[in-house]
Amino acid sequence: MSSTLTASTLLAVPLAPLAGALLAGVFGTALGGNRFGRRLSHSLTILGVFIAFVLSAMTLASVVNDGAHFDETIYTWMTVGSFQMNVGFLIDPLTALMMTVVTFVSLMVHVYTIGYMAEDDGYNRFFAYISLFTFSMLMLVMSNNFLQLFFGWEAVGLVSYLLIGFWFKRPTAIFANLKAFMVNRVGDFGFILGIALVWAFTGTVHYKEVFAQAPQLATMLFPGTQWMLLTVTCICLFIGAMGKSAQFPLHIWLPDSMEGPTPISALIHAATMVTAGIFMVARMSPLFELSDTALSFVLVIGSITALFMGLVGIVQNDIKRVVAYSTLSQLGYMTVALGVSAYSAGIFHLMTHAFFKALLFLGSGSVIMAMHHNQDMRWMGGLRKYMPITWLTFLVGTLALVATPFFSGFYSKDSIIEATAESVLPGSGFAHFAVMAGVFVTALYSFRAYFMVFHGPERYDQNPDAHHGHDDHGHGHGGKPHETPWVVTVPLILLAIPSVVIGYPYVEPMLYGNFFGDAIQVLAAHPTMEELRQGFHGPLAMGLHAVQTVPFWLALAGFAVAYYCYMVNTAVPAKVAKAFKPLYDILVNKFYIDWINENIIMRGARLLGTGLWKGADQAVIDGAVVNGSWRGIGWFAGIARWVQSGYLFHYALVMIVGVLVLMTYFVWLNK
């Protein structure tokens, strides 16, 4: 362990946001008598996250520049026999990078929230929640064992439930947070099974000790089957990632989570909760590398998510839902990278995506504020002249998202596409098609949103359903759109800067250098990144060469189609929707996955539950066993009371009858 990293300093990283959350959540609400006002509450929470960010950046610098490393137990919670449940930190390049990204995005969201939630009655409560969310995510990424990882995993799920349903008086918000919570429970069930398998066959939950036993696990079979134990374990762990990182078919919760305030969309969907699954698989690379079957499973699931969720984004009219389906698609790209053993490319895209996707969500929130909380892009248009800062930063985020050469998203996204092309794992052919087609799709829905919002005729005063947006929480209505206050625009500018520049200087050290060191392990049997390294000649050459590649022209084609349909000939989209109505209906209904889930799976589960409740519990247990037993005893007692009357002639009669029965029985028995 390097002397530059100490337990006390590292403890301050998660505890600073926790302290802010507790102070604002207790003394800034009715729980503690509303002793803290708005200014003090947001100041304390922002200070806590700022401290965490500064310490995280210092930790990253120490890890990268000085080779600092930390892997120690901070606190022993429980000891059961030889098994210890510990709280500990593992600080390596992967952790330090995640800490910095999480705290920076969270800090921007905190500042942004001052303007966005200014007139909401739950102002202090909201700041407490987002600060608590930051603490939970930091505990997740800093953990050195599966137990603490699971704690952080569930903690972010719990706080996301509170945040998605923040406006808890709305039925839609209640449905959304319940949906998110229940779908994640499905994934988490698989996740905890994977952790249980790890502990059962290794006797430990500490990462280092588990990874040391990985070669032995690779030789074992799952009891009673011919399946590889490690394959089953990794697939179970990845099912947890499917829920948390919203991969098909457990993706259905994420678009509905837009019911929460827009800062939550940025915090949950950009750098924190949804990327937890990506981080977890990268952290578990020593395990996943030993199972090609598990990697193929990851690859196919990611491919489906990348392509098909992007297709749904094309027909969305809610600006936040467009960005949400974009998040689903980009998470699919990250998952594809994990599946082809390009873990570094997946984490690199996680980092770049955190900046430009947070930018797009916060930019969408800025637009929603200016439009007096209308979220329907069909009633926007022409906002460029009213909101120059939001327009420019949103354009930057869009260019980064579609992988424009030299923007941050280009270096990470194109690297994933190239890595997929080099893979020979089963499913890599479909994956390569999916990520290539996804380039066109991404450009189409991204520029569709951009043109509908910022260009074309002004439609903000034509909305028949005005003043009824999801995020309508007290801001005034009426009047022309306007640029949002500095507490909103400054985070947009600060997020736009890395969205442009963060890719160029870091693509080489993170993908082809030794940035991650031993934090990510790749076997020689999966030489994907090694193949890419041989063709890499620097970020400048990569950017210049892009104009000769298929992805560039696919993105350009997506831009051209969006420009023609939404700027030149605006009648085309309606004609296309009418001509291809069956396909259009499929996309509008999100491939009917939500319908199947709500009307078949969930209804079937409810019917099963009702059957067990009415049939098993009420009829059998309560009716037959509990009530039946006392009724039977009462009936028997009634007979016994009649026999035990106290009259001598009754007893004599019973004795005579008994003797008669016995004599008859034995006479007939002896025949």
Give tens-digit pLDDT for 338-359. 999 999 999 999 999 989 998 9
- The answer to whether 244 and 273 are in contact (CB under 8 A) is yes
Burial environment of residue 79 by CB neighbours within 10 A (0 to 12, 13 to 18, 19 or more): exposed
Buried b (16+ CB within 10 A) or exposed e, 452-472: bbbbbeebbeebeebeebbbb
Distance, C-alpha 511 to centroid of its chain = 24
Secondary structure of residue 127 in the 3-state scheme: helix
High-pLDDT (> 70) share of the chain, %: 96
Report pLDDT for 188.
92
- Look at residues 252, 25, 240 and name the one whose alpha carbon lies nearest to residue 150: 240
- Residue in this structure with the two tokens 């991404």, named with its chain if needed: 442
Residue 432's CB is within 10 A of a number of other CB atoms, namely 20
Report pLDDT for 2.
46
Confidence of residue 636 (pLDDT cuts 50, 70, 90): confident
- The answer to whether 138 and 19 are in contact (CB under 8 A) is no
Per the DSSP assignment, residues forming a β-bridge with 71 are 90
Report pLDDT for 61.
92
- The answer to whether 89 and 12 are in contact (CB under 8 A) is no
Number of H helices and E strands in the chain, helices first, is 30, 2
This prediction has a pTM of: 0.88
Residues 265, 253: Cα–Cα separation, whole Å: 12
Residues 457, 567: Cα–Cα separation, whole Å: 9
Q: Is 79 left (phi over 0), alpha (psi -120 to 50) or beta?
A: beta
Q: What is the pLDDT of residues 487-537, one digit of tens each?
A: 888 989 999 999 999 999 999 999 988 888 888 988 888 888 888 888 888
Per the DSSP assignment, residues forming a β-bridge with 183 are none
Residues 267, 151: Cα–Cα separation, whole Å: 19
High-pLDDT (> 90) share of the chain, %: 44
Secondary structure of residue 79 in the 3-state scheme: strand
- Look at residues 404, 434, 668 and name the one whose alpha carbon lies nearest to residue 549: 404
Residue 92 is given by DSSP the state S
Report pLDDT for 269.
65
Report pLDDT for 270.
62
Burial environment of residue 80 by CB neighbours within 10 A (0 to 12, 13 to 18, 19 or more): exposed
Average pLDDT value for the chain: 87
Q: Is the pLDDT of residue 473 over 70?
A: no
Residue 140 is given by DSSP the state H
Q: Is the pLDDT of residue 465 over 70?
A: no
- The answer to whether 348 and 411 are in contact (CB under 8 A) is yes
- Mean pLDDT calculated for residue range 49-71: 92
Q: Is the pLDDT of residue 305 over 90?
A: yes
Confidence of residue 1 (pLDDT cuts 50, 70, 90): very low
Q: What is the pLDDT of residues 392-450, one digit of tens each?
A: 999 999 999 999 999 999 999 999 999 999 988 999 999 999 999 999 999 999 999 99
Q: Is the pLDDT of residue 477 over 80?
A: no
Residue 554's CB is within 10 A of a number of other CB atoms, namely 22
Q: What is the pLDDT of residues 95-136, one digit of tens each?
A: 999 999 999 989 988 998 888 888 888 888 889 999 999 999
Residues 511, 70: Cα–Cα separation, whole Å: 23
- The answer to whether 92 and 518 are in contact (CB under 8 A) is yes
Q: What is the pLDDT of residues 234-270, one digit of tens each?
A: 999 999 999 988 898 888 888 888 887 878 777 776 6
- Residue in this structure with the two tokens 């409810």, named with its chain if needed: 606
Confidence of residue 553 (pLDDT cuts 50, 70, 90): very high
Confidence of residue 479 (pLDDT cuts 50, 70, 90): low
Q: CA neighbours within 13 Å on the CB side: how many for 518?
A: 9
Q: Is the pLDDT of residue 453 over 80?
A: yes
Report pLDDT for 405.
93
Report pLDDT for 468.
46
Report pLDDT for 644.
72
Structure tokens that stand for 622 in this block: 């309560």
- Look at residues 157, 237, 230, 232 and name the one whose alpha carbon lies nearest to residue 195: 237
Q: Is the pLDDT of residue 458 over 90?
A: no
DSSP of 410-472: HHHHHHHHHHHHH--STTHHHHHHHHHHHHHHHHHHHHHHHHHHHSSS--TT--TTTT--TT-
The angle subtended at Cα 268 by Cα 509 and Cα 242, nearest 5°, is: 80
Lowest mean pLDDT segment, chosen from 154-158, 604-608, 635-639: 635-639
Lowest mean pLDDT segment, chosen from 60-74, 308-322, 472-486, 634-648: 472-486
Residues 590, 544: Cα–Cα separation, whole Å: 37
Name every residue whose Cβ is closer than 8 Å to that of residue 303 and which is 6 or more positions away in sequence: 332, 336, 339, 427, 430, 431, 434, 435
Structure tokens that stand for 343 in this block: 């873990």
User: Which helix (H) or strand (E) segment is 86 a member of?
Assistant: strand 83-91
SS (H, E, C) 498-537: HHHHCHHHHHHHHHHCCCCHHHCCCCCCCCHHHHHHHHCC
Residues 241, 146: Cα–Cα separation, whole Å: 14
Q: Is the pLDDT of residue 475 over 70?
A: no
